[in-house]
Amino acid sequence: MGLFGLFKKKSDETKVGNVEDFISLTRVYFQSVIATNLGITNIRFLPDVANFKRLFKIPTQGGKLGLAEKSASRKMLMQDYGLNENFFKEIDSSVKRNCRTQNDIQSYLFMYQGFSNDLMMLMGNLMQWKFRMPSIRMSDNDIPCPAKQGAAGASGRPSEADLRADEPTTGQRRAVDVA
């Protein structure tokens, strides 16, 4: 083995099935179903399908955008995550019900994004998993810092002792400056 054998990566096990892959594959499936149902031919309108098509070199089937991508993403989701046909039937019927025109697509994908974020947060809380989801950049005001918060402490809430110190004792009145 030698010295260089210690620095070699062990690539016998390939990890398949993280959260980001699942979300991107479901987005590809959603967008492919939308493209086939509405007859969308412009690939720029479906960015996740375009990336998927370029990454896996999927040829266009029958001159229609979305057919090959739909079957490829479906196959990957079934193999990697063990999903059954009911999952895909629900998505197909939901898209068919809610996306009748191209104007409906943006609001539908926005609802899907909110649903998937809520679902991942719920699963993470219930199973006590730590999912790494992309988040919006936090400003300095959002970061809890004991030095910046003063009496509030790291939790952001003042302690009961701090609240009692601000209250006047019985018989005393607070002086109020009127300008």
pLDDT value of residue 15 = 62
How many angstroms separate the Cα of 125 from the Cα of each of 118, 128, 138, 143, 156?
A: 11, 5, 22, 22, 22
> pLDDT 10s per residue in the chain (179 long)?
455 554 555 544 556 668 788 889 999 999 999 999 999 999 999 999 999 999 999 999 988 999 999 999 999 999 998 899 999 999 999 999 999 988 898 899 888 888 888 888 887 787 776 555 555 554 555 545 444 444 445 555 555 555 555 555 555 555 555 54
User: How far is residue 141's CA from residue 17's CA, in Å, rounded to a whole number?
Assistant: 35
Single pTM value for the model: 0.62
pLDDT value of residue 132 = 57
How many angstroms separate the Cα of 104 from the Cα of each of 19, 26, 38, 44, 132?
A: 27, 18, 11, 17, 30
pLDDT value of residue 149 = 47
User: How far is residue 28's CA from residue 77's CA, in Å, rounded to a whole number?
Assistant: 11
